Every structure is written in C-alpha cells, then in structure tokens.
C-alpha cells in the first residue's frame, strides 16, 4: 500500500530520508480521501528529490551554449507530458540546425515475459522451452528465475539488486526481499560471472556481503 505523497522544500540535495511527523501528516490527509485506510499494509516508505525551477514552469529550450538544450524543472505532470516534451525537443533540434533522420533499425519496446499473466498452456510451453521459468524465486510477486535472467541480459544489463527489482519486481512484495534476495544475488553473480560479494544493492559501496563468518 502506498499513501501520499507530501512535498517539502529542502536544501540538502542528497537527503532522501523520511520523518515520522511527515508520515503522520500523510496519514491524516490520506484519511480525508479514504476512510479506514489500513496503514498496517504500508510496509515501506520512500522519498525522492527533484530540482525545482525558479520560473514556476518546465524549462524546455536551447541554452546560451548553442547545441546544449535544457529539459529541466519537470514536475509531476512530466510523466503524462513526456511525449509532448519529446516532440518539442525535436522541434528545438530542427530549429537549431541539427540534421535529423529516422532510424531504419529503431527498436520498438522490447518484449519481456510476465509469467504470472500467462495462461496455463502458455506457462507450460514457456517452461518446456526454458525450465528456469518453472522455478519460482520471488513468492510474494510470483517472479520466476527465467524472468530475472531475462532482465539481467537485456541490451542495457541489470547488474545490481535494485536494477533487477525495477525491471521485474523481485523484492517488491510483502517480505521486501527477505526470502528471494539471496537467490537473486546468486543469480546475478552466476549470470554475470561475478563474485557474489561484488553484487551490490544499487549505488557504489552499497555492498551486501563482505566475507563469510563461518566455514
């Protein structure tokens, strides 16, 4: 369950902490919209940071440096505005003199397997083709080993725990990776031929394992 968000102006661009008073504020406001929210179903809290434009609007323009374009200050409506922003950016490139041509080998959205949404017949066929789809790794989200391997080997490889989580959701369920985390780490290490201690959570130095305590 996700409830929120709120928003605060802060000066520290690295501060992604959450605070009890703000969570209580979100509960208070959320209950105005939906009564009797079961906040016990909220198992994790998140915070993010975005740059705020001093213009009160999106910045979509060529900068004072020719050929450098600012697409910045994009707030929440940016998700739905993204296609229009893209077209505006293309127009800016054309106006600036860029030589644009359509790619003959453009890759349309890449397909990936959503095993839990397949029919029984489709699941059986997929497992017959690759038995890794018959091994359930994340029981909360019903994610198979085959889906994780697919995510790791996409053209832009998923090489960290959080990268795999964002691609196909293992660790997003009730246990938050308590059950599947070690197995996902093993799969990443195996598929990328890495030492398991070199498989990190997300950013540099976000190590998970350092050494064995017992032999």
CATH class of 115-198: mainly alpha
- SS3 at position 60: strand
pLDDT band, residue 197 (cuts 50/70/90): very high
Q: Which residues of 102-113 are buried (b: 16+ CB within 10 A; e: fewer)?
A: eeeeeeeeeeeb
pLDDT, mean of residues 125-131? 96
pLDDT higher than threshold 80 for residue 110 = no
CA–CA separation, 110 vs 83, rounded Å? 18
Q: What is the pLDDT of residue 1?
A: 80
Q: Give the span between the Cα atoms of 187 and 149, in whole angstroms.
A: 7
Q: Confidence band (pLDDT; 50, 70, 90) for 124?
A: very high
What is the arithmetic mean of pLDDT over 145-157?
A: 94
What letter would DSSP give residue 32?
H
Inform me whether the pLDDT recorded for 215 exceeds 80: no
Tell me the whole-structure pTM to 2 decimals. Answer: 0.74
pLDDT digits (tens, 9 = 90+) for 1-43: 888 888 888 889 889 899 999 999 999 999 999 988 999 888 8
Q: What is the pLDDT of residues 61-83, one digit of tens each?
A: 999 998 899 999 888 788 899 99
Beta pairing, strands 69-72 & 136-138: unpaired
Of the CA atoms within 13 Å of residue 44, those in its CB half-sphere come to 9
Task: Break the chain into its structural domains and give their ranges.
Answer: 1-49, 59-96, 115-198
| pLDDT tens sequence across 42-53 | 888 889 888 888
The CA distance from 72 to 206, in Å, is 29
């Amino acid at each position: 369950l996700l409830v929120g968000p709120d928003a605060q102006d802060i000066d520290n661009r690295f501060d992604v902490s959450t605070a009890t008073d703000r969570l209580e504020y979100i509960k208070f406001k959320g209950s105005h919209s939906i009564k009797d929210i079961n906040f016990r179903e909220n198992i994790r809290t998140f915070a993010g940071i975005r740059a705020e434009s001093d213009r009160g609007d999106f910045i979509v323009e060529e900068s004072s440096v020719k050929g450098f374009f600012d697409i910045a200050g994009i707030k929440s409506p940016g998700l739905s505005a993204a296609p229009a922003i893209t077209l505006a950016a293309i127009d800016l490139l054309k106006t600036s003199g860029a030589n644009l041509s359509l790619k003959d080998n453009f890759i349309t959205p890449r397909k990936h397997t959503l095993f839990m949404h397949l029919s029984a017949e489709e699941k059986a066929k997929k497992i017959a083709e690759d038995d890794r789809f018959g091994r359930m790794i994340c029981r909360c989200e019903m994610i198979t080993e085959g889906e994780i391997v697919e995510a790791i080997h996409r053209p832009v490889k998923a090489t960290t725990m959080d990268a795999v989580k964002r691609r196909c959701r293992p660790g997003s369920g009730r246990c938050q990776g308590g059950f599947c985390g070690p197995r996902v780490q093993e799969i990443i290490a195996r598929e990328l031929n890495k030492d398991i201690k070199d498989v990190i959570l997300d950013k540099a130095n976000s190590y998970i394992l350092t050494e064995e305590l017992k032999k």
